[in-house]
Structure 1
């Protein structure tokens, strides 16, 4: 026999396990908040921009072929920026005591499509250190690229600057809490239905019909202890009244 579940049964299950769903959601939100605010290290980001372009004099006209050459060089430059040839010098000049591989993990290098501008970003737990690393890397790259590529077509557009009230880019505490609440709610609802699915106890007449596949002919009502006591007291009162009437006659 194929079982069907009505919307009413679904809502009844949710209502019955509401405490479980709410508890799991609150616990997930609290756990995420505690971890985000007290255990995760804030990470700051500093960025600079590098322009890849040939130095021109006043008589030099715009050359589209030269622009295309610079655009093709950008992908090569993106690799060179985070190579040991640049980062080893950066680490040495800033006295970071870090390898090129460790420094590379802090970098993000990107460029817009058909743009000669390269965006260079560094993430670190200290905003000042992040700014120092990204500025020094841009400086070293500009200084070293003529000897590496035999061209002088790099200039720094903007340097990273540290503001007094710098905000970390991660962890995003409020977002983490919101995600944890959604996940907790989903887990709570799923667990509520799972517990209901594995609950084999017979709860009402409909469950008997489903299990035995037989119609119900009658139902025995349950009487709680208070009603039983009331009935006993009523019987005793009636007996006392009857005896009184008998003796009086």
Structure 2
């Protein structure tokens, strides 16, 4: 019985503060939308692929040992690509107003499991610059790896290309607004229960019993204006008859 009453009180509180919850939700969605569309800088992404293979020989086919050796080199290459030895030259070639540390944060290097293809992904507020950085990083790495490791087993497989209508990868306004709606809803519900908890006014006979720990012996009914007028007319009529 106690759980049923608690559940009823829960729904009564939500119903009572429904307007507050709705306002908080709408406010949170509006704020997240304004921030996403007007304040956050769009970031574009571009990728290029390089292929790690064996140095050219007279043999036309690669055996499994050669492929395995290339796969072991890829982890080393992933580190070298984002090293100052490569990125410093990229900055100089493109005349970028940035540092190697900042550029490192913009570049992601990875490859699929057991794949000799390395993906170089660049994110930048300028879509053309993202393409230029991705392509230049691949070109500089292809050239410098010959001097750094005395090998010639890297070739550009797929260069980055600037599309006609590039779309930013972030922010995602719809996702941000959905998250804002959830946060606003949770905040509204939390404030509703907080206000209900802080409200110590006596509203009904049950509150009186809870506060005084005494049984209620009687109630005074609320007299509406209509009933009050009827009572006055009846009293006046009786006086006239008397």
TM-score between both structures, scaled by the size of structure 2: 0.93
The Cα of 1:187 is off from its aligned counterpart by 0.7
Alignment of 1:150-161 (within 5 A): 150-161=150-161
Alignment of 1:53-68 (within 5 A): 53-57=53-57, 59-68=59-68
The Cα of 1:93 is off from its aligned counterpart by 0.9
Deviation digits for residues 168-190 of structure 1 (CA, Å, limit 9, x no counterpart) = 00010011111100110011011
How many residue pairs match? The answer is: 241
Deviation digits for residues 176-208 of structure 1 (CA, Å, limit 9, x no counterpart) = 111100110011011111111121111111222
Aligned to 2:74: 74
Residue 239, structure 1, aligned to residue 239, structure 2 = yes
Aligned to 1:146: 146
Unaligned 5+ segments in structure 2 are: none
The Cα of 1:224 is off from its aligned counterpart by 3.5
Residue aligned with 2:222, SS: coil
Residue aligned with 2:201, SS: coil
Deviation digits for residues 46-90 of structure 1 (CA, Å, limit 9, x no counterpart) = 001111111344524432222222112111111111111111111
Partner Cα separation in structure 2 for residue 109 and residue 237 of structure 1: 96
Partner Cα separation in structure 2 for residue 94 and residue 207 of structure 1: 75
Aligned to 2:33: 33
Residue 219, structure 1, aligned to residue 222, structure 2 = no
Residue aligned with 1:105, SS: helix
Alignment of 1:1-249 (within 5 A): 5-57=5-57, 59-240=59-240, 242-243=241-242
Unaligned 5+ segments in structure 1 are: 244-249
The Cα of 1:114 is off from its aligned counterpart by 1.7
TM-score between both structures, scaled by the size of structure 1: 0.91
Partner Cα separation in structure 1 for residue 142 and residue 4 of structure 2: 71
Q: Which has the larger radius of gyration?
A: 1
* Alignment RMSD: 1.8
Deviation digits for residues 18-51 of structure 1 (CA, Å, limit 9, x no counterpart) = 0100000000001111111111111100001111
CA contact (8 A) 2:53 2:70 kept: yes
Partner Cα separation in structure 2 for residue 59 and residue 115 of structure 1: 21
CA contact (8 A) 2:55 2:151 kept: no
Mark the CA change 1:141 to 1:9 in structure 2 (over 3 Å): closer, same or farther.
same
Residue aligned with 1:217, SS: coil
